[in-house]
Amino acid sequence: MTNVAVIGAQWGDEGKGKVVDWLASRADVVVRYQGGHNAGHTLVVGKETYKLSLLPSGLVRGKLGVIGNGVVIDPEALLSEIARVQAQGLSVTPETLRIADNAVLILPMHGALDRAREGARGDRKIGTTGRGIGPAYEDKVARRAIRVADLAEPETLDAKLDELLRHHNTLLASLGAPIFEKAAVLARLLELAPSILQYAEPVWERLDGLRKGGKRILFEGAQAVMLDVDHGTYPYVTSSNTVAATAASGAGIGPQAVGFVLGIAKAYTTRVGSGPFPSELHDDIGKGLGARGHEFGTVTGRPRRCGWFDAAMVRQAVKVGGIQGLALTKLDVLDGLAELKICTGYRIRGELVSHLPAAPGAQAAAEPIYETMEGWSGSSRGAKSWADLPAQAVKYVRRIEELTEAPVTLVSTSPERDDTIMVRDPFQD
């Protein structure tokens, strides 16, 4: 028996929510360890659809949910999300949800600065959600952040807000945006404090006890490897490290406890926002993938850009992300296509390369090199075993395994939680 860390192997929106929900039936606790409410996981359970941003997906399974110290938390957004899922019948109480007391808070000035900066970039926008995640991480690194534990100390809040507002109001004013008054921000934080503090604790201590007690821990990542602030298509990335190594530091647990690393990848490729996308399709096939796959961002509602499966990119994510097995999602979206293409590498300014380089100019210049495969006429939707899949669909999955250098551990064939082919249980040693 081992723990499992789930990370995205592309640019996010790979269907991690369903996979985490499915795996949560085998786990005792689910931990979010990085990102903020810029993440979005959609879970379809019968006739009910849950859209989660901060809450660990395991809550839908009735499992203990933990928000780790690596997450940046907007208290308003968190409480709103709790109220929304409670209205759908989920139980979210201090017995089912715990929050790291050393997690950093996202405050209103963070979102304001995020949006003002993005507006000032004009046609060079990064494509942020404008929810303040980046500025909150900046404050964390600069050691001026307000953390969950600070809500219990009014005098600490008062002193920290002086430095925080001095910094942010100067930047906001320079961008022509309204500034914030300390009294109003302090009053609102003190008003929210009891609602947040009831969930707070040193979660590292709880996780250590659960691990020693033999409980199964599922680490739930947000975004994806190619949005990692170090390893992704910088600067068109998120503001945190998304690789599996972050599960340890973002939860407060030793690296040996992370366990099996499962990477989630769609059977094709999508991306929300700006940035390079070598295998993007601008034709009717790309539009068809978007329509059949219902490709809209869970958080932003923006249409996702769609393209062929990029095996070179996923292979890169496998290596830097520590991925030991892939969960391939939305295979059914490819049903009926006569021909499929897989990107196996790139041509950049006449040179053949096997990975996306670090330099943004080279990333933008990358032209895909394709391998063509025959599609399948039968349906893979709802398949629960290899025998249920069209033969050519199995060949497609096997070719992905070869090109990415990672075994396919799970295959998802519809949004429904039980329409999943399990090749290997990730929780088994």
For the annotated catalytic residues, the residue numbers are 13, 41
Distance between CA atoms of residues 380 and 267, nearest Å: 12
Q: What letter would DSSP give residue 360?
A: H
Give the number of other CB atoms < 10 A from CB of residue 94: 12
- Contact between 40 and 3 under an 8 Å Cβ cutoff? The reply is no
Of the candidates 61, 5, 63, the one whose C-alpha atom is nearest the C-alpha of residue 33 is 5
Q: What angle separates helix 75-87 from helix 182-197, to the nearest 10 degrees?
A: 40
Quote the tokens at residue 55: 């809450």
Query: What is the residue type of 89?
Result: G
Distance between CA atoms of residues 133 and 111, nearest Å: 8
Of the candidates 116, 404, 110, 100, the one whose C-alpha atom is nearest the C-alpha of residue 253 is 100
Type and span of the H or E element at 50: strand 48-52
Distance between CA atoms of residues 216 and 47, nearest Å: 29
